Amino acid sequence: MIKLGIDRIGEYKKLLAGKKIGLITNYSGVSSKLVEDMDVFKAAGYEVAKLFTPEHGLYGAMDGASVDNSIHPKYKTPIISLYGDRKEPTSEDLDGLDVLVYDIQDVGLRYYTYIYTLAYCMKAAAAKGIKFVVLDRPNPLGKKIAGNRMKKELSSFVGDYELPIRYGLTPGELGKYFLSYLKLDLDYNVIPMEGYKKDMKWTATGQLWNLPSPSIHTFNSNLCYVGGCFFEATNISEGRGTAAPFQIYGAPFVNMDEFIPELRKRIDCEDVAIRPRAFTPFWSKHAGKTCYGVEFIPLNDRLDFLYPAIITLKTFFDLYPKDVEFVKYADVARLSSLSGDETVTEYINGKISLDKLKEIWAKESKEFEAIAEKCRIYS
């Protein structure tokens, strides 16, 4: 089993001992032995003076729900929410702190909001002149880089800083990218993992699955969140409110007898199994209604679900043009907020081929690979 950054804080007393610490974390902030990071800091003799929480808060509020400031129930430490009226700490929030420490499990995808909380907190620390430390954790999807780079004019809290969809960096490495991209004058530090290799996916780390947010229940959900997140911009359920978010997709108006055969004609991927699936979400889209559609079952951790997801989305649009609609969901204002440009919309509308989309995206992901190499910590 690898050692996480949180497992190694006792080795980095020069960074943390005697300091007033602001800890940016949530329920994923646990050690390899599943001990909460507040308890780990306390046992190491370090003082956490304030907590800062991203989307979903400290204990897992639903998607898009505003979270208020509160108090830690055990340590009575102030908890400042960075998902509600504001998404970054103010200068006053950082008063009295010597260092900000980031310890949150990532999913390795551009549209995950935690990484923008990381960037915003880095900017705030630079403006305040205090240190910043990332306790590193695995990128569950490994080093693979895929997809287009986010267009600046489409930047939002679900896509920014010209990141590709899969950026192939750990949180500590991604922080190095932000440091360079934003040209920050910041005392930036990473407590690295021990035993981690850059080509590791989650299954090779020896770690138990660490729920990063309420709808990424399993590693399989994480694999299918690659591209599956695009469905958030439509009225097709992406399985939120079920036992298999991002593995099942459907709506009440879908006829599985016509949809599944057509989908199987279009998707040629040996890393995933496809089956018809009816399901009833207990919350989110179509709550309490039976939806008809498809379930995807990853067969290995090599699965790149990006293009199967896009093909599936187009198949819904092709077969049910009068029923499928674009919708606003949480921070998602439009499909391009997630897809990063207009190519997915153009593919759905038949204006470009899938091969052309792949060609455009491959060029942009290759551009980012050269940048990512400069940010890597692990060999």
- Interval 189-206: pLDDT, tens: 999 999 999 999 999 999
Return d(Cα 79, Cα 59) in angstroms, integer.
Answer: 12
Band of pLDDT at residue 334, cut at 50, 70 and 90: confident
Return d(Cα 125, Cα 97) in angstroms, integer.
Answer: 10
- Give pLDDT tens digits for 137-159: 999 999 999 999 999 999 999 99
CB 219 within 8 A of CB 192: no
Return d(Cα 36, Cα 201) in angstroms, integer.
Answer: 23
Q: Can you give the residue ranges of every domain in the chain?
A: 6-208+369-373, 219-341
CB 80 within 8 A of CB 69: yes
pLDDT score for 84: 83
pLDDT at 315 over 80: yes
Q: Per the structure block, which two tokens stand in for 224?
A: 């299918």
pLDDT score for 106: 96
Phi, psi of 306, rounded to the nearest 5 degrees = -55, -55
Q: What is the DSSP letter of 152?
A: G
pLDDT score for 147: 97
CB 361 within 8 A of CB 147: yes
Strand arrangement of the beta sheet that strand 291-298 belongs to: 248-251, 291-298, 272-279
Please, what CATH class does the domain formed by 219-341 belong to? alpha beta
Band of pLDDT at residue 67, cut at 50, 70 and 90: confident
The two domains 6-208+369-373 and 219-341 share their CATH topology (first three levels equal):
no
Statement: 6-208+369-373 belongs to CATH 3.40.50.12170: yes
Tallying the residues shown for the chain, one arrives at: 379
